[in-house]
């Protein structure tokens, strides 16, 4: 009997705590999560904080909150503890790189001992000068290997003298590094394209390259799923695995996310921070659904996917190489679809803070729930709540009298119809939207009028706007007294 032993799939999200969460990072985390879940594997979170100069206070807490909001829950690593603060879970910790420094130092020195890495004492001034000269001569900017062949005695002396140094990995002279990428197939890079990469910095911190490789090995990552911008780093990582004698994981480098003009999505051209989308009132289900489709397509017309459906259907065979355009209109449409599907009570609960923020003081006596539900099918995101219905919250509707005139009518006509409508509405005691609509439409027919000549001036009278919900919906919310007041004000404007 064969025993098809397959190692348990383990993916990781390995962000650096530099502030906000980029949409691209959300997508990486999502694909890592979906892949792990679809394979019955484990998804863990590691914090890559080796560049202390870029660290922003509070980033880890924020990151965990964003992941929780999105429903992308790590099984292991840095997670939210019972007290709501970041804590660590799992047997491969610590999962925060700054807590693992001795480990990286040990591994860097192991490579020096094997002759696969070397101490480099070059000063930053020398390196800068070198770069300038190379740039001036139109040469690739590379370390020139000055410290590569220092004698053991010289190295020992300089170390003993306390000279500032880094450790660089040696890149073999004439080799092609090859690896398989789940999205790109076989990738080959010649070592002449690769610099003698620093792996341990002068401050004793590892660079990303060493730390990521050591951790992915020790934390048993089976698949590395990350953005395309990391592709040039991968040959160096493959070499590091080889130098240590470890098996390399499987890679997938995700396509770029682009602006509609095909430039790389960047902060300058709009919102890239997930936090901004949360603030604007996008639903997590909608953003996750949309982000899932940035690079992956299910191969069918289906566009709306729950997280469970994504787990079932996601596969790297349907992730493409070409950049994916971020289309905010599509996201808005999708969010609108999700908002429409929310139960009314849930919608009201989510929408109320946005409405209050947008319209300020809400006059007493208004049925807020009804108002919000009126907006439910109209808004693309919750931050738009109230924008289209400000007329409900103020009696000061500054509109021009001429906008009351329907295109096939005139001022006198508008005035007459509005007077007739006021008289008619004055008789109604059932002020429900349904009754208002039924009775008023009957009235229009009986009088031989047209919907346009009656409903247009009525709607403008009630809202001051040429585009708005129907006059029946608005009248119901305003109540009889306000409705009649507004019609009378309109009649005066036409006088």
Which residue, chain included where needed, has tokens 């009986």? 446
Phi, psi of 257 (to 5 degrees): -105, 125
Show the DSSP H helices in 342-470 as ranges.
344-359, 368-376, 411-426, 433-446, 451-463
Q: Of 402, 409, 416, which is closest to residue 452 (Cα–Cα)? A: 409
Q: How far is the CB of 140 from ligand GLU (least distance, A)?
A: 24
Binding residues for ligand GLU restricted to 179-198, rule: CB under 6 A: none
Should residue 230 be labelled a site residue for ligand GLU when binding is judged by CB under 6 A? yes
Nearer to ligand GLU, 26 or 491 (CB): 26
In degrees to the nearest 10, what's the CA dihedral of 185, 231, 178, 320?
Answer: 0
Q: Looking at beta carbons only, is 24 or 464 nearer to ligand GLU?
A: 24
* Annotated catalytic residue within 164, 267, 302, 318: 267
Q: Taking CB under 6 A as the rule, does residue 238 contact ligand GLU?
A: no
* Min separation Cβ 17 and ligand GLU, Å: 9
Question: Rounded to the nearest whole angstrom, what is the least distance from the CB of residue 26 to ligand GLU in the complex?
Answer: 12
DSSP classification of residue 256:
P
Q: Which of 9, 14, 199, 371 binds ligand GLU (CB under 6 A)?
A: 14
Nearest to ligand GLU of 212, 238 (CB atom): 212
The full DSSP string for 15-38 is: ---SSSPBHHHHHHHHHHHHHHHH
> With binding defined as CB under 6 A, does residue 226 bind ligand GLU?
yes
CA distance from start to end of the chain: 97
For residue 78, report the phi and psi dihedrals to the nearest 5 degrees.
Answer: -80, 120
For the CB of residue 34, give the shortest distance to ligand GLU in the complex, in Å: 16
Per rule CB under 6 A, is residue 15 in the interface with ligand GLU?
yes
When asked if residue 17 is in the footprint of ligand GLU (CB under 6 A), the reply is no
Taking CB under 6 A as the binding criterion, the range among 10-18, 57-65, 440-448, 476-484 that sits at the site for ligand GLU is 10-18
Separation between Cα atoms, residue 351 and residue 359, nearest integer Å: 12
Please report the sign of the dihedral spanned by the C-alpha atoms of residue 111, residue 116, residue 121, residue 123: negative
Considering the complex, state which of residue 47 and residue 436 has its C-beta at the smaller distance from ligand GLU.
47
Q: How many chain residues touch ligand GLU (CB under 6 A)?
A: 8
Known catalytic residue: 99?
A: no
| Residue with Cβ nearer ligand GLU (12 or 165) | 12
C-alpha to C-alpha distances, 455 to 403, 437, 443, 460, nearest whole angstrom: 13, 10, 12, 9
Cβ neighbourhood burial of 356 (10 Å; 0-12, 13-18, 19+): middle
Among the listed ranges 14-22, 238-246, 316-324, 451-459, the one in contact with ligand GLU (CB under 6 A) is 14-22
Q: Which is nearer to ligand GLU, 26 or 425 (CB)?
A: 26
Name the site residues for ligand GLU (rule: CB under 6 A).
14-16, 48, 208, 212, 226, 230
């Amino acid at each position: 009997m064969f025993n098809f032993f397959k190692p348990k799939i383990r993916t990781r999200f390995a962000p650096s705590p530099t502030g906000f969460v980029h949409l691209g990072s959300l997508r990486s985390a999502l694909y890592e999560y979906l892949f792990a879940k679809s394979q019955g594997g484990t998804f863990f979170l590691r914090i890559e904080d080796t560049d202390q100069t870029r660290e922003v206070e509070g980033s880890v807490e924020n990151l965990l909150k964003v992941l929780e909001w999105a429903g992308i829950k790590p099984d292991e690593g840095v997670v939210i503890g019972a007290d709501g603060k970041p804590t660590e879970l799992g047997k491969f910790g610590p999962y925060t790189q700054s807590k693992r420094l001795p480990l990286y130092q040990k591994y860097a020195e192991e490579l020096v001992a094997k002759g696969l890495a070397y101490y480099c004492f070059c000063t930053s001034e020398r390196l800068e000068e070198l770069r300038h000269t190379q740039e001036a001569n139109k040469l690739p900017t590379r370390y020139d290997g000055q410290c590569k062949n220092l004698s053991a005695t010289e190295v020992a002396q300089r170390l003993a003298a306390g000279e500032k140094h880094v450790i660089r990995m040696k890149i073999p002279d004439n080799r092609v590094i090859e690896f398989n990428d789940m999205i790109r197939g076989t990738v080959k890079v010649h070592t002449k394209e690769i610099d003698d990469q620093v792996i341990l910095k002068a401050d004793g911190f590892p660079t990303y390259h060493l730390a990521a490789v050591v951790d992915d090995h020790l934390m048993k990552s089976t698949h590395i799923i990350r953005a395309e911008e990391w592709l040039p780093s991968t040959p160096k990582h493959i070499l590091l695995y080889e130098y240590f004698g470890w098996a390399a994981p499987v890679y997938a480098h995700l396509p770029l996310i682009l602006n509609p003009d095909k430039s790389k999505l960047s902060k300058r051209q709009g919102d890239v921070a997930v936090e901004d989308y949360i603030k604007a009132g996008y639903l997590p289900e909608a953003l996750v659904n949309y982000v899932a489709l940035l690079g992956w397509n299910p191969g069918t017309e289906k566009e709306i996917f729950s997280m469970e459906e994504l787990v079932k259907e996601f596969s790297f065979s349907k992730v493409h190489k070409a950049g994916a355009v971020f289309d905010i209109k599509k996201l808005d449409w999708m969010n609108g679809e999700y908002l429409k599907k929310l139960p009314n009570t849930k919608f009201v609960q989510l929408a109320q803070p946005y409405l209050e923020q947008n319209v300020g003081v809400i006059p007493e006596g208004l049925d807020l729930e009804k108002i919000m539900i009126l907006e439910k099918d109209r808004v693309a995101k919750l931050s738009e709540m109230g924008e289209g219905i400000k007329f409900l919250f103020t009696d000061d509707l500054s509109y021009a009298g001429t906008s009351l005139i329907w295109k096939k009518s005139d001022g006198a006509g508008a005035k007459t119809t509005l007077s007739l409508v006021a008289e008619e509405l004055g008789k109604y005691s059932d002020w429900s939207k349904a009754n208002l609509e039924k009775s008023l439409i009957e009235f229009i027919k009986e009088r031989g009028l047209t919907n346009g000549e009656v409903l247009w001036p009525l709607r403008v009278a009630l809202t001051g706007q040429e585009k708005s919900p129907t006059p029946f919906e608005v009248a119901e919310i305003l109540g009889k007294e306000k409705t009649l007041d507004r019609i009378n004000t309109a009649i005066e404007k036409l006088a």
